[in-house]
Amino acid sequence: MAKILVIDDDITIQLVLQHLLQEEGHEVVIAREGKDGIRKAREWHPDGIICDWMMPSLDGLEVCRQVKAIPDLATTFFILLTAREEVDDLVKGLDAGADEFLSKPVEAEKLLARMRAGLRSRTLTQQLSQKSALLAALVEVQGCLLADNSTNGCYAQVISTLGRALDASHAYFWEASPDSPNLNRMRVDWFPKQYRHNARLGVQSPHSSYPPASWLQLLAKGQVIHTTAANLPASERQILEDLDIQTLVLFPVTVNGKYCGFIGCENHSRARLWDDSEMDLLRATVSAISLHLERSAAEGEKARSLAALQESEARYRAIVEDQTELICRFAPDGTITFVNDAYCRYFGISRDMARMGSLVPIIPDLTRDFYTHPVVTREHSLILPNGEVRIHQWTDRALFDDQNRLLGFQAVGQDITDRKRAEEEAIKALEKEKELLELKSRFVSMVSHEFRTPLTTILSAADLLEYYIDTWTATKNLEYIQRIQTAAVNMTNLLEDVLFIGRSEANKILFNPKPIDLSEFCQKILAEIQACLATNHLITFTEHFVNFELIHHENRNDLPKSQQPVLAFMDEKLLQQIIGNLVSNSLKYSPIDGRVEFHLIWGKSEVKIAVKDNGIGIPTEELPHLFESFYRAKNTADIPGTGLGLAIVKRSVDVHGGEISVESELGIGTTFTVTLPLISLSS
């Protein structure tokens, strides 16, 4: 049952006590004197000691004092045998640490009963102190894990506390990869002082087969391994023997339900398995470590998310700030909440100034439906503080949260003024090019037609003359010669016209204005045209005077002198072009017995020349193109023409600073009106 050491110099008492105690089932060791008793107690660790007070060299009181001073023996149940029963002696005995006094002669029943009670209470005390030591260890472990955030130092302390509390020869925490439990590494380990030499050995050359792979599989499945080496199959026992391990306990650790390693304790000196209380401590420690690992993982995850968020924020900010685009953000009510550097630089303002009031007040467009049109791009003209007008293109994007609630807007803008202008230039250049192409094609068709006709005339007349010159009469020959001359003159005129247009394109039209009597000048030209007419056309000339009250007068002399128009100051050659072309067109595009009206309308500072006919008219859609070079309306059919007359008229009018307009109705007739400014000679 228990180990009892009897220390007495009296051989009879030794034998009696030995017999009594062995009868009770105890193991008994005898010491004959005090020193021997202390030595045997130190080596044998008895549960109880029965010691005689009065002994020759060292008395029982001193033996008791010395034994109780040995930590491992402090709880040993100590009975002092004494012949005396005085109170003083009892006090001395108690002071020395004795638990019980029995007087000699020893009463057997009494001794055994006292011994039983003492051993029971010792066991209880031992259990209690072990429990409280385990509890203290658990408190230390938990305090340590709670105080620590993530470092390895905390595990080193936890494992050493655990190892110490479980009286282990080696304790450790091995980490395993959750996906591959065989991938292990010792995270921390601990040896008590007397086993420290193993520490170096263990870390530097761990047994390559420890822990066996089959154990790792069991641990990964959540199984606890608690065994003595002797109970294992030979191969596994050999591994443990190589490492001096007699017993061990391995306890799996999980993080969020996933296996992540194990906590282990070994016993090297004795084959001691751990009791329930110790296993409870181990279990509680493992749970605390699991929790700590979970917390660390969560915090690590949180820190990683935060770092990722900060990094992405920094990256986003850098992108936004590096943009040359102007970026601003608005609250749902339209107030500015953010502007980037480019925005501040562009408008020459600080961020604070920008927040106080937007320079682009109509952005964002708060009137639109953000849900159907979350992104809108529009152009917007803006006057900068320096008065410059710039064109911007803004893309407004409505921003929503997870619940689809409007958070605000982001507007990204860029100055597209230069691009716009370049586009306009390009369009103009394109139009010009198109115009030139059309001009070219019209020119080619005009030349091929208008030059070929006179050339054919010249060639055929020359051929006939060559052949018949000797047979034809002189009159007939002259007629053909004149045909050749007329055709050549027409070609020369045509060339003149082309050259005129060429000069006008280069702004090289000669403008030589001088005072002329416009009325007389017009009438003279009309008379010449009329005289040359081969048709029955009638050309009429009418002159009107319009005073300030818009009253018509037929005669200049009817007007008071102060209101008579001044003399015209014009270029005769250009004027001849204007009148000649307008009148010849009226004749050409009206019936041979048609009437051409020529009106000269005098105002105070301008004069109008209106040429009206009752000819074929001009299709409305073609009116805008009439003054382009080589342009001919589609209804001209086979009426010959070059498309140059009106272009020449227009340029001649322009040079005078005047205007030309046309009114026409198909099949009814056409009226061209030229308005020329009158230049006061006195001014």
Question: Is the preceding omega at residue 332 within 30 degrees of 0, hence cis?
Answer: no
Closest to ligand ADP by CB, 193 vs 634, is: 634
CB 347 within 8 A of CB 359: yes
Closest to ligand ADP by CB, 38 vs 446, is: 446
Closest to ligand ADP by CB, 61 vs 578, is: 578
The minimum distance between CB 641 and ligand ADP, in angstroms, equals: 2
Interface residues with ligand ADP (CB under 6 A) are 581, 585-586, 589, 613, 615-618, 626, 631-633, 636, 641-647, 670
Which strands, in side-by-side order, build the sheet including 27-31? 27-31, 3-7, 48-52, 77-82, 100-103
Closest to ligand ADP by CB, 348 vs 640, is: 640
CB 279 within 8 A of CB 249: yes
The minimum distance between CB 616 and ligand ADP, in angstroms, equals: 5
Closest to ligand ADP by CB, 285 vs 652, is: 652
Report in angstroms the alpha-carbon separations of 163 from 147, 224, 634: 20, 17, 112
Helix, strand, or coil here: 678? coil
Closest to ligand ADP by CB, 78 vs 598, is: 598
Start-to-end CA distance of the chain, whole Å, equals: 149
Report in angstroms the alpha-carbon separations of 605 from 136, 199, 565, 679: 120, 120, 7, 7
The minimum distance between CB 323 and ligand ADP, in angstroms, equals: 56
Burial of 306 (0-12, 13-18, 19+ CB in 10 A): exposed
Q: How far apart are CA 359 and CA 380, in angstroms?
A: 12
The minimum distance between CB 536 and ligand ADP, in angstroms, equals: 17
The minimum distance between CB 532 and ligand ADP, in angstroms, equals: 17
Q: How far apart are CA 552 and CA 586, in angstroms?
A: 25
The minimum distance between CB 584 and ligand ADP, in angstroms, equals: 8
The minimum distance between CB 471 and ligand ADP, in angstroms, equals: 38
Identify the CA nearest to 184 among candidates 266, 97, 250: 250
Closest to ligand ADP by CB, 75 vs 636, is: 636
CB 263 within 8 A of CB 282: yes
Question: What letter represents residue 46's amino acid?
Answer: P
The minimum distance between CB 673 and ligand ADP, in angstroms, equals: 12
Closest to ligand ADP by CB, 347 vs 672, is: 672
Identify the CA nearest to 248 among candidates 216, 269, 225: 225
The total of other beta-carbon atoms located within 10 Å of residue 422's CB is 11
Burial of 502 (0-12, 13-18, 19+ CB in 10 A): exposed
Closest to ligand ADP by CB, 14 vs 585, is: 585
The minimum distance between CB 594 and ligand ADP, in angstroms, equals: 10
Q: How far apart are CA 184 and CA 201, in angstroms?
A: 18
The minimum distance between CB 663 and ligand ADP, in angstroms, equals: 11
Closest to ligand ADP by CB, 190 vs 631, is: 631
**β-bridge mates for residue 249, sequence order:** 226, 265
